[in-house]
Chain A
Amino acid sequence: MAVLVVAAHDGKTVRANVANAVAAAGQMDAEVHVLVAGSNAGEAAKSAAAIQGVAKVLQAEDAAYANWLAEDIAPLVVKLAPNYSHIVMAADSVGKNVAPRAAALLDVAQVSEAIQVVSPDTFVRPIYAGNAMATVQSTDKIKIVTVRPTNFKAAAGGGSATIEQIEGTGSAGLSSFAGAELSKSERPELTSAKIVVSGGRGLQSGENFKMLETLADKLGAGLGASRAAVDAGYVPNDYQVGQTGKVVAPDLYIAIGISGAIQHLAGMKDSKTIVAINKDEEAPIFQVADYGLVGDLFQLVPELTAAIEKK
C-alpha cells in the first residue's frame, strides 16, 4: 500500500519541507501520494506534483481548509487513511497540530519526529531533547509518522505526478481562524537556511540583535535565538531554536552569546560546522563547537562582520 504525505502550503506552493517528507515517505513504501487540501490550492497542488518520487497528488478543495484548522483537516486524513499503510507529515507546527488528531481518530499511535526510517514499521526518534535515540516499532495497521525535515535530504524537483481532485469533508464547526501575526523577514527561513546566526541572552537587548542582523545579511544567513533571548522579548517566538522550538541543521551555525543549555543544543547540534562566540570559556556551547572564540561579543561580532566583508 502507498504512503500519503499530508502537505502544508501557502496557497501557491507546498512548504519546502514537503520535499523532505516525500523523501522520508519513499523509504517507507515506493508509492508516495501527496494530499494538498485547501481553498484555491491548485497552484500548491502543481508544486507538489513537481516533487520527484510523487506518484499522485490528491487535491481537496474546501473553504474549510483555508487555514489548516486541525478539526477540519484531520477528518479528511482519516477518510483517506484506509487506502494507505502510512500517513506522513513534516514535524512542523502544522504537522504537530494535525497528525496526532488524525492518529487518535484512527486509534493508532503516532511516531513523533522520526529522524531515520529503519524499515517500514521501525523508526529512530530522539527523546530527552536528543540526549537519547529510541528505535521504535509500530504495531498499528496504519502508521502515522511525523518526520524531522532536516534529517531527510529533500527530494528533487522536475517530477510530473497526476493531480486528482477529491471531495472535501466540510467544516466541523468547532473553530475559526482570526488572523496571523507573522514575522516579516527577507532573510532565509531558519529551518532551510544554509547558514544560521543565533543570539542569546549575552546580546542583552533586542536593540543589540541589529548587530547580528548585519552579520546575518553579510552571510545570507537566517536569524535564530535561544529560548532565553525569546523569553526576554529580544526577538519573536519563531526565532527560537531548541528542543521545543525549531530544529536546524545548516552547514554553518554561529552561536553568539548563547551558553548552550541542553534544550538549545537539541535544536542545532546536527549542524555541520558550529561556531561559538562567548565570553565564558566554560560555557557548554564550546563542547559542541568546532570553532570557539572566547571574548566580548560586542567587540568580536563587528570585527567578524568586517572580516567577512573583505573577501
Chain B
Amino acid sequence: MKVLVAVKRVIDYNVKIRVKADNTGVETANVKMSMNPFDEIAVEEAIRMKEKGAATEIIAFSAGPAQCQETIRTALAMGADRGILVQTDADLQPLAVAKLLKAVVDKEQPGLVIVGKQAIDDDSNATGQMLAALLGWSIGTFANKLNVADGSVEVKREVDGGLENIKIKMPAVITTDLRLNEPRYASLPNIMKAKKKPIETLAPDALGVDVAPRLKTLKVEEPPKRKSGIKVKTVAELVEKLRNEAGVI
C-alpha cells in the first residue's frame, strides 16, 4: 500500500511572528521556516507503517513556492521515499490544496493519505476533511492512535470529551493530533541519502486545478494587547485583589 503524506512549509513554531506594517499579512522574509509540526507527525506515522510492513511506499506532497522542496527533503530525510511538489506562488487556501491533493491521489492511488490536523499558520483545520469529501473517502480526524487491518482503519480520535473510537473503510484520509506519535529527527546519513531521492515538480494547471482563493484577505492586524498586570507578594494579597479589585471570587 502506498501512503501519501502532505507537508506544509510554515513559519517555525518558535518564531514570534510580526504583522506587516501595511496590514496585508505576516512578515515571512528572512524568517525561519519549517515543516508544520502536525505534518511531521503524519510523516512519522507513515514511516512507522512502512517499518511494520503495512505500507510499501511513502510519497511526500507539498504545494507552494519552490522552497517547499526543502520541506519535502525533510520528509525524505525522515524516511519518505519520494516527493511531489505542486509549485505555485499563488495564495493557496485549504480548498485549493485539497483539490491539488485529489488530483495527485487520483494519479498515485494511495491506500491512505495522512495530513496534519491543522497548519500552525492559517489554523484552518480543513484540508484533510475537504480532501476526503472530494474523494468520497472516509475520514479519521484528530487521530490519537491508528490500527490498519483488513481494508479498514481503527482510529482513536481526540474529541471534546476525551477519546472516541471509529472504524473507517480504506482508502481513507487521516488527520493527526499531537499524541499520535513523537516524530523522529533525521539522522545525518539519512539527510545525505535524501538528497538523491526524487522530487517531481508539477504545476496546478497541469493538474487541471483552479487555485484561485475563495476568501479575500482584507487585512491582517495585531491582536489587541492585554495591559500588563502586577506581581503580588503573597497569597493573601492575591485573594484580596481577586475579591475586591477583580471581583471574580
Contacts and interface: CB of A to CB of B under 8 A. Distances in A.
A43 interface: no
A103 B129 CA distance: 9
Interface in A189-215: 191, 195
Interface in B173-227: 177-179, 213-223, 226
Interface in A210-236: 219, 227, 230-231, 236
B235 A307 contact: yes
Interface string A121-149: 01001111111111111111000000000
A97 B124 contact: no
Given A180-B162, A238-B160, A244-B117, A112 B242 contact: no
A170 to B, nearest CB: 15
A62 interface: no
A83 interface: no
A291 B168 contact: no
B229 interface: yes
A78 to B, nearest CB: 9
Contact of A131 (B144, B218, B223): B223
B13 A263 contact: yes
A217 to B, nearest CB: 14
Contacts of A280: none
Contacts, number: 256
Contacts of A308: 239, 249
Contacts of B118: 244
Interface residues of A, number: 88
Contacts of A69: 166
Given A100-B125, A308-B249, A292 B165 contact: no
Contact of B248 (A107, A181, A251, A289): A251
A230 B158 CA distance: 12
A288 B229 CA distance: 7
B139 A70 contact: yes
Interface stretch (B54-62, B64-72, B74-82, B92-100): B92-100
A130 B223 contact: yes
Nearest to A107: B95
Contacts of A109: 93-95, 213-215
A177 B226 CA distance: 43
Contacts of B122: 112, 127
A29 interface: no
B216 A137 contact: yes
B229 A92 contact: no
A291 B132 contact: no
A128 B163 contact: no
B93 to A, nearest CB: 6
A113 B218 CA distance: 17
Given A230-B179, A286-B231, A292-B232, A180 B164 contact: yes
Given A112-B126, A128-B11, A93 B160 contact: yes
Nearest to A269: B226
A180 B159 contact: yes
A173 B167 CA distance: 11
Contacts of A132: 17, 19, 26, 220-223
A174 B159 contact: no
The 9 closest A-B pairs by CB, nearest first: A104-B130, A109-B214, A100-B129, A104-B133, A100-B126, A290-B229, A174-B138, A252-B248, A182-B162
19 contacts: A74-B133, A101-B139, A104-B98, A109-B94, A127-B122, A128-B121, A132-B17, A134-B219, A137-B218, A174-B137, A174-B138, A175-B167, A182-B161, A195-B248, A243-B123, A275-B238, A288-B229, A291-B229, A304-B235
